[in-house]
Structure 1
Amino acid sequence: MPNRAADLELAAVVKSYGETIAVDKVSLKIPAGTYCCLLGPSGCGKTSTLRMIAGHESISDGDVMIGNTIVNDLPPARRGTAMMFQNYALFPHLNVRDNVAFPLKMAGVGKAERHQRAGELLGMVDMARYAERLPAQLSGGQQQRVALARALVTNPTVLLLDEPLSALDPFLRVRMRAELKRYQRDFGISFVHVTHSQEEAMALADMVVLMNDGRIEQVGSPREVFNAPRTRFVAQFMGSHNIVPDGERSFAVRADRLRLSASPGGVAGTRATVTDVEYQGMTVNVAMRCADGTDFLATLPEAEYDRMPVAIGDEVAVDWAAADRHELAA
């Protein structure tokens, strides 16, 4: 059975490379049994944070604690963590069973016991029938399951995943999201998953940690971060929000909350010119620009668009309900 779940805590963690600060005093507590996604653009510090938790990067300052233990000086194998890498890092010359059993071999576990344990994990990820195959004989999704089994074979307290879905095609990516979430529930341990995909984070996470420029911009459930962005960066990165200037502050309005009509009225009473129309099947995206240069994007249900179709160059009135205005920090 897996190790007892434990909280993971970062206290003012810093990672610097010479004069460059990649992670800047990050403090975060991830409760035991949480699916946490570290989300953000390239270079925001999310992968450096993950690697410091794993022990693959030294910590410049601050502490990483798993349970009641500060693990800063412990090697990766003694932290109670396991890492699943972006490229899966399977050994091409070892069959599937031996790939999964390899961490146990390095820990000195006997052949019979490690093969038994590898077989159990392969059964859990529905890969037992491929135990004798080499990695090159597997599909991308099958290789991912093997890499996951290998990461879990040591009974980690926390599983760390570095963009594990990025190498998969879009359809397989969606299917593997559901599988990762199921495995996390079954094992009852924390998964800490680095991704730059907002869709992936919202589909998987109990806790989203959105990072920017080495710092945490916002922490919350996917719905909290999407519906109540605290800053302009969060609203823009999560997508589907319009940023509307209003004196010294600005506010956000979700694209699916905009209403288009022929004449101004209501709360906004704003006129804009249509700059693009993009058909998306169930919805239609209408991009617009006001005379002052403010851009708007409205996501309309197909039936609503059909009631008042617009084309590039048309002038429309843009409005929203007062309750849909979300204030952003200055």
Structure 2
Amino acid sequence: MAEKGDIELAAVLKRYGGTVAVDTISLKIPAGTYCCLLGPSGCGKSTTLRMIAGHEDISDGDIMIGNEVINDLPPARRGTAMMFQNYALFPHLDCTDNVAFSLKMKGVAKAERRQRAVEMLRLVHMQDYAARLPAQLSGGQQQRIALARALITNPSVLLLDEPLSALDPFLRARMREELKRLQKELGISFIHVTHSQEEAMALADLVVVMNRGKIEQAATAREVFNQPRTAFVARFIGGHNIIDCTVDAAAGTIRLPGHLPGAVPLPARIDGARQPVSVRADRARLTPPAPGQAGFAGTVRAVEYLGSIVHVGIGAEGLGDCTIDDGEFAVTVDERSFFASPVAVGDRVSVSWAPEEVHVLEG
């Protein structure tokens, strides 16, 4: 087994013929971290996971666990275990034998491997289903069996490829809690591929947002949500309005719509005539902009009641030389405030936000 420790990818490249699937990425995942690789389909996250597992060859670069380069090691010698999206349980074996299968392949005696399988079933709260076949289990129960089978080899890293995608929303939330509990209890690293922002935010110590084979941002969930590095991250994470603004290089500011004499200071790293910024939907207000605030007037295009919050989509007008992503600005209002002063599609409204709510993006 590979040494338990940090997982590090150093300039890792994966090329299929002339197509680059993973483009020279570098990443360090501290030991004992729950890491989510997040991004749209085709961004390279599953390919990255399979390279760590040893199911895909690396075109260039190195992957290390602890102090050991594992590029040329077969999957069974990397100290990793993989849980596949479709669970891949053997239909003719009961739960105990499914969990114990990898130990059987290693020549572990029957009594010992069954004892260890029962311990794993207890860990995932499935000991009462030990004699059942996979067809007699629900999707969530099958997932727990697949988890137990992956964990029985005592890996230093558990790799999960879209493990919750086949579950209904209620069970998905329950299994998120279970995965987090197991990761903390076992103290090993989990690397979890998902396209769900909610899933990554709920689970991860480290969120790695990928796009077109590159890493756009790697940070805590809170940092990714509050301080997205790029416009892509802000769009993909959601909850952000992206405004393309004019740069006033002479004044050293970014011009925003509204009553902002000083506008937003221009960071030293920014160089160009236009600059995207983001404003969180829950930080904007349906009120006219006061002196020192940014804002605009517009027409309500959509109202969505979502329980504790109401989403209001507003077609932006009066933006001057600024433009808004998709031409619609989102404001999230808590339920009580919305129904104290409701708006409907077609209403004219004003939107405002404080300058400190503006986050400058890299591009």
TM-score using structure 2 length: 0.88
Structure 2: runs of 5+ lacking an equivalent: 247-273
Give SS of 1:273's match.
strand
Matches within 5 A, 1:1-330: 5-247=4-246, 248-261=274-287, 263-266=288-291, 267-291=293-317, 294=324, 295-330=328-363
Offset of residue 12 of structure 1: 0.5
Give SS of 2:330's match.
strand
Offset of residue 269 of structure 1: 3.5
Contact kept? 2:2, 2:78, Cα under 8 Å:
no
Offset of residue 5 of structure 1: 3.5
CA-based RMSD of the aligned residues comes to 1.3
Give SS of 1:156's match.
coil
Give, as a single letter, the amino acid of the residue that structure 1 aligns with 2:106.
Answer: A
Distance 2:147 2:206 in 1: 21
Offset of residue 184 of structure 1: 0.2
Give SS of 1:155's match.
coil
Question: Among the aligned pairs, what percent are the same residue?
Answer: 66
Distance 1:59 1:15 in 2: 6
Deviations 1:256-308 (A, max 9, x none): 011112x4434113111111111111111100111366320001001111232
Give, as a single letter, the amino acid of the residue that structure 1 aligns with 2:195.
Answer: H
Distance 1:99 1:31 in 2: 31
Give SS of 2:228's match.
coil
Length, aligned pairs only: 328
Moved over 4 A (4+): none
Give, as a single letter, the amino acid of the residue that structure 1 aligns with 2:178.
Answer: E
Give SS of 2:58's match.
coil
Offset of residue 86 of structure 1: 0.5
Give SS of 1:234's match.
helix
Offset of residue 322 of structure 1: 1.2
Distance 1:270 1:200 in 2: 34
Distance 1:314 1:34 in 2: 48
Larger RCO (CA under 8 A, 6+ residues apart) = 1
